Amino acid sequence: MMPMMSGNRTVMSIKGCIFDLDGVIVDTAKYHFLAWKRLAEKLKINFTEKDNERLKGVSRMASLDIILEIGNMKPDDKIKEEYAALKNKWYVAYISKMTPDEILPGSIRFINDLRKEGIKIALGSASKNTPMIIRRVGMEILFDAIADGNVVKKAKPDPEVFITAAKMIGIPPEECVVFEDAAAGVEAALNAGMMCIGIGSEKILSNAHFVVPGLNEMSLQKLKEIEKGIRL
């Protein structure tokens, strides 16, 4: 579909922007890594930053499964619950000290610009800790809806989280764009039938429609140009 022209201004068909949280809005990816690394060390599993890429965007239990697979361990469900709770305890200790300084550059400016344009803003995150993080960094008022690990069941790359976010803001998937830093999240957005802008490395996010290093590189004008390029 071509963007509509109104005067000499290109009108976007994008009406909703859905943001992943960890690694897009806030720099929590490092805390997830540190907490998983601590668990891996306790279990004598060699877990590297490269392995950590596979955990991004993936739910807590699915992340634990990946680490246990690396260590070739198969504990029963009760033990797995204990490991996941331990990791979360360490993770929460980090995020409970977060401040607005840890909001990634450009996020607030870009979201405010989108809001001024009447675009609805949602969060689409696998994290059950989303409410605490958003509160700690003082961003509650910027989101029209929050779809997170507390409301969805299926982990990315399943599209459930983004479909749920789109429903919450009342915008059809084809009029939504997702901002994601994880390969699994990019797949989830594509599976939802949404446009996806990768945040981070082109190598890792090659399936996204467009990739920028961070939201500080995004603007309303750039979003319009990206959409135009994709739809022409």
Q: Is residue 187 at the binding interface for Mg ion, with CB under 5 A as the rule?
A: no
What is the smallest separation between the CB atom of 119 and ligand BG6, expressed in angstroms? 22
Element (H, E) at 91: helix 77-95
- The two tokens of residue 177 are 């764009």
> Binding residue for ligand BG6 (CB under 6 A) from 14, 58, 134, 166?
58
Smallest gap from residue 157 Cβ to ligand BG6 (A): 13
What does each C-alpha distance from 26 to 109, 127, 214 come to in angstroms? Answer: 14, 12, 11
Told to check if 188 binds ligand BG6 by CB under 6 A, we report: no
Binding residue (CB under 6 A) for ligand BG6 from 12, 14, 45, 55: 55
Min dist CB 212 to ligand BG6, Å, is: 18
Whether residue 20 lies in the annotated active site? yes
**What is d(CA 118, CA 16) in angstroms, rounded to the nearest whole number?**
9
Residue with tokens 């022409």: 232
Stretch that binds Mg ion, among 13-21, 37-45, 164-172, 203-211 (CB under 5 A): 13-21
68 contacts ligand BG6 (rule: CB under 6 A): no
What is the C-alpha separation between 79 and 73, in angstroms, rounded? Answer: 11
**Total interface residues for Mg ion by CB under 5 A:** 5
- Paired sense of beta strands 16-19 and 176-180, if any: parallel
Residues involved in catalysis: 20, 22
